[in-house]
């Protein structure tokens, strides 16, 4: 596949060469997970196998729209065969139904990209059996090959310090063995690090995707958070996936996507690029359900103003207009 190999950034800053990303994928036939109806707890018939080309591993509901798009667009629009794993609920320390709204926003965006109706008026919530766990899942009606899996871990905050609303728990603390387990924001499951790796193993083996897409596991993680670092959830979730790929000797094309750092690189999806409008429109479908996000391009530009030194401000919110104009691989 053609892609630019133009190297654009001082590699030393994130420890890796970064190149322009443009590509779409092939398919491989795989079995489905067992599907259950969440509300009734009744097992329904397992789906037939389907072809599935890509797995997107993300930290927050919005991540695939910001950092792995337009690749996501090309996968969903052309092949409609994508599994997305969302590690955390992306709650940013909020409670109530905030994170459920974010999931709904992601589903609206995926439906819009794929050109299929979202499951309105009532959202179709299901659980899928992954190993010994039942994981919340969503797929459009009559299109099970396009699936989102929600692990609903607490949002770990930008530096991985966690939020008080979640008892300060974070993926980073679990990974660094500062805590022994982490409880989902819906309170339904408590996972150890090995439990999470077991889930990743199962997803990878059952999907057998040609392309595994992760955020930047090479980014620095530090207790001294600064605005140049990526979100700790991005880095740690990707590290976990890469470790499993190596331990299980999974054979696939692994694509690593630049996260917050890419705002410092040259815009490679300018307003005249055909994918720019698609990426922006998909994001704004999501944003309608995320009250902390800018809702149009003008608002997103305004968001860039303000206190850059706020170390604990979530960069997923602040730099949207930069992310919409970019997508970069890290190698």
Is 60 a binder of Zn ion (CB under 5 A)?
Answer: yes
Shortest approach of Zn ion to residue 234 CB, angstroms? 6
By C-alpha distance, which of 273, 316, 279, 274 is closest to 297?
Answer: 279
Instruction: Collect all residues with Cβ–Cβ distance below 8 Å to 21 and sequence separation of at least 6.
Output: 3, 71, 255, 257, 327, 328, 329
Shortest approach of Zn ion to residue 231 CB, angstroms? 5
Shortest approach of Zn ion to residue 219 CB, angstroms? 12
- What is the crossing angle of helices 98-114 and 274-287, to 10°? 150
63/71 with CB nearer Zn ion: 63
Distance between CA atoms of residues 115 and 259, nearest Å:
27
Query: CB of 231 within 8 A of CB of 90?
Result: no
Shortest approach of Zn ion to residue 34 CB, angstroms? 29
71/316 with CB nearer Zn ion: 316
Distance between CA atoms of residues 319 and 239, nearest Å:
24
Stretch of residues binding Zn ion (CB under 5 A), selected from 30-38, 56-64, 144-152, 248-256: 56-64
Query: CB of 316 within 8 A of CB of 156?
Result: no
Token readout for 250 is 């999974």
Residue nearest to Zn ion (CB): 60
Shortest approach of Zn ion to residue 150 CB, angstroms? 14
Binding residue count for Zn ion, defined by CB under 5 A:
4
Is 63 a binder of Zn ion (CB under 5 A)?
Answer: yes
Phi (first) and psi of residue 205, to 5 degrees = -70, -40
79/282 with CB nearer Zn ion: 282
130/171 with CB nearer Zn ion: 171
Shortest approach of Zn ion to residue 230 CB, angstroms? 9
Which of 91, 290, 316, 327 touches Zn ion (CB under 5 A)? 316
Residues lying near Zn ion in the complex (CB under 5 A):
59-60, 63, 316
């Amino acid at each position: 596949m053609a892609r630019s190999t133009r190297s654009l950034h001082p590699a030393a800053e994130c420890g890796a060469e970064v190149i322009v990303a443009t590509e779409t994928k092939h398919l491989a036939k795989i079995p489905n997970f067992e599907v259950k109806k969440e509300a009734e707890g009744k097992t329904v018939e397992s789906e037939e196998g389907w072809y599935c080309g890509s797995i997107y591993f993300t930290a927050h509901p919005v991540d695939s729209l910001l950092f792995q798009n337009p690749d996501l667009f090309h996968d969903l629009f052309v092949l409609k065969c994508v599994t997305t794993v969302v590690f955390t609920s992306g709650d940013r320390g909020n409670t109530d139904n905030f994170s459920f709204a974010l999931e709904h926003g992601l589903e609206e965006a995926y439906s819009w990209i794929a050109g299929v109706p979202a499951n309105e008026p009532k959202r179709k919530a299901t659980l899928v059996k992954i190993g010994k766990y039942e994981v919340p899942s969503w797929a459009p009606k009559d299109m099970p090959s396009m699936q989102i899996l929600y692990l609903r871990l607490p949002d770990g905050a930008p530096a991985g310090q966690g939020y008080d609303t979640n008892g300060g728990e974070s993926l980073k603390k679990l990974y660094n063995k500062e805590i022994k387990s982490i409880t989902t924001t819906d309170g339904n499951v408590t996972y150890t690090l090995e439990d999470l790796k077991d889930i990743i193993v199962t997803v990878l083996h059952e999907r057998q995707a040609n392309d595994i897409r992760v955020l930047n596991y090479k980014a620095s993680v530090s207790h001294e958070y600064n605005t140049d670092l990526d979100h700790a959830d991005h880095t740690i979730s990707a590290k976990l996936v890469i470790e499993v790929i190596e331990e299980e000797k999974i054979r696939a094309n692994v694509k690593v996507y630049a996260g917050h750092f890419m705002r410092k690189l040259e815009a490679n999806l300018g307003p005249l690029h055909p994918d720019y409008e698609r990426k922006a429109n998909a994001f704004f479908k999501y944003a309608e359900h995320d009250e902390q996000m800018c809702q149009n391009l003008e608002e997103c530009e305004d968001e860039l103003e303000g206190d850059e030194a706020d170390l604990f401000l979530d960069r997923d919110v602040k730099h949207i207009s930069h992310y919409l104009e970019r997508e970069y691989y890290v190698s």
